[in-house]
């Protein structure tokens, strides 16, 4: 059983294959923002390096968003067309949640944020439970950064959680990922310093794990597959988390 995973939602594109033994192999583009051009040759290279042929694939997984609208569409249309041509099922992988698989040993909260312009981020927060399950701390969405940080703070200050805060590194450490770090780093540090919750400690992901990676998309895809989450290509939808600008304006006018 092999799953091909496609990641094109950010500045760097990558593809990966994962098998049932959880072995992951990844191919990354060294060129930024040229996903349409590079994606298919990357898949070709990956398969060749692994000594595989396209018919060895059983599922086509794709990072479904949020992220760059264009990037999401390149990934989803590629995944769907491969599935259509090969008569295979697909797996839609939530992009934000996939960041948990960047740091499988990490005990803190991870908070991927993508710069969504208009002073917003696409973001969410997740952590590994004690039993190794992925847990959602703040659901993925388009947020003003303050709104996202408020939600994080309220989650950390939950009474149930407060007791556990005596154990250090239990969830009060938050590591931020994604290209949203770049414009919002200072604002996040300010929030840490001004927070009434002394237990909040912020850190930022190192460069090599800061952005989306197909290897993590593949790992989460395998989990979704095992939970029976494979689906027809016709049910594989992009997750934009935001309406088109023109549509939003039109709705405002007609309100």
The residues facing 61 across adjacent strands are: 5, 91
Q: What string marks each residue from 7 to 36 as x (binds another protein by CB under 8 A) or -?
A: ---------------------------x-x
Which of 96, 224, 238, 239 touches another protein (CB under 8 A)? 238
Number of residues that bind another protein (CB under 8 A): 32
Q: Are strands 109-115 and 120-128 parallel, antiparallel or unpaired?
A: antiparallel
3-state helix, strand, coil in the chain (%, to 5): 40, 25, 35
Which residue number, 114 or 177, has a Cβ lying nearer to another protein? Answer: 114
Sites for another protein among residues 51-70 (CB under 8 A)? 54, 69-70
Q: Minimum CB separation from another protein for residue 114, in Å?
A: 17
Q: Minimum CB separation from another protein for residue 163, in Å?
A: 46
DSSP 72-141: HHHHHHHHHHHHHHHT--EEEE-TTGGGGGG-TT--SEEEEEEE-STTEEEEEEEEE-TTS-EEEEEEEE
Cis peptide before 125 (omega within 30 of 0): no
Q: Minimum CB separation from another protein for residue 121, in Å?
A: 19
Q: Are strands 120-128 and 24-28 parallel, antiparallel or unpaired?
A: unpaired
Q: Minimum CB separation from another protein for residue 247, in Å?
A: 6
Which residue number, 34 or 167, has a Cβ lying nearer to another protein? Answer: 34
Which residue number, 80 or 219, has a Cβ lying nearer to another protein? Answer: 80
Sites for another protein among residues 79-138 (CB under 8 A)? 80-82, 84-86
Q: Minimum CB separation from another protein for residue 113, in Å?
A: 22
Using CB under 8 A, which of the segments 78-86, 114-122, 134-142, 205-213 binds another protein? 78-86
Q: Minimum CB separation from another protein for residue 216, in Å?
A: 22
Q: Confirm if 79 and 93 have CB atoms less than 8 A apart.
A: no
Per CB under 8 A, does 49 bind another protein? no
Order of strands, sheet of 14-19, starting from the edge strand that comes earlier in the sequence: 24-28, 14-19, 2-7, 59-63, 90-93
- Alpha carbon distance 152, 98 (integer Å): 18
Q: Confirm if 180 and 123 have CB atoms less than 8 A apart.
A: yes
Which of 3, 46, 76, 188 touches another protein (CB under 8 A)? 76
Q: Which residues does 29 contact at the CB level (< 8 Å), separation at least 6?
A: 12, 13, 14, 35, 38, 42
Which of 9, 14, 29, 38 touches another protein (CB under 8 A)? 38
Q: Six-digit token pair at 37?
A: 């051009």
Contacts to another protein by CB under 8 A: 34, 36-41, 43-44, 54, 69-70, 73-74, 76-78, 80-82, 84-86, 233-234, 238, 240, 244-247, 250
């Amino acid at each position: 059983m092999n799953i091909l995973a496609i990641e094109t939602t950010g500045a760097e594109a990558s593809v990966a294959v994962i098998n049932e033994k959880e072995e992951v192999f990844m191919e990354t583009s060294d060129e930024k923002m040229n996903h349409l051009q590079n994606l298919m040759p990357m898949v070709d290279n990956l398969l060749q390096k692994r000594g595989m042929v396209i018919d060895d694939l059983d599922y086509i997984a794709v990072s479904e968003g949020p992220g760059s609208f264009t990037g999401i569409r390149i990934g989803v249309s590629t995944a769907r067309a491969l599935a259509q041509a090969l008569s295979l099922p697909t797996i839609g992988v939530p992009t934000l949640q996939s960041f948990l698989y960047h740091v499988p040993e990490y005990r803190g909260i991870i908070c991927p944020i993508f710069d969504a312009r208009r002073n917003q981020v696409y973001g969410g927060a997740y952590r590994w439970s004690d039993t190794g399950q992925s847990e959602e701390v703040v659901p993925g969405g388009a947020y003003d950064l303050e709104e996202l940080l408020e939600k994080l703070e309220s989650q950390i200050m939950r009474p149930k959680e407060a007791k556990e805060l005596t154990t250090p590194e239990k969830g009060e450490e938050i590591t931020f990922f994604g290209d949203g770090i770049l414009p919002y780093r200072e604002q996040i540090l300010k929030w840490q310093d001004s927070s009434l919750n002394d237990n909040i400690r912020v850190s930022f992901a190192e460069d090599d794990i800061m952005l989306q990676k197909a290897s993590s998309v593949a790992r989460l895809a395998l989990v979704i597959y095992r939970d029976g989450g494979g689906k027809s290509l016709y049910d594989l939808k992009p997750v934009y988390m935001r309406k088109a600008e023109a549509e939003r304006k039109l709705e405002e006018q007609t309100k």
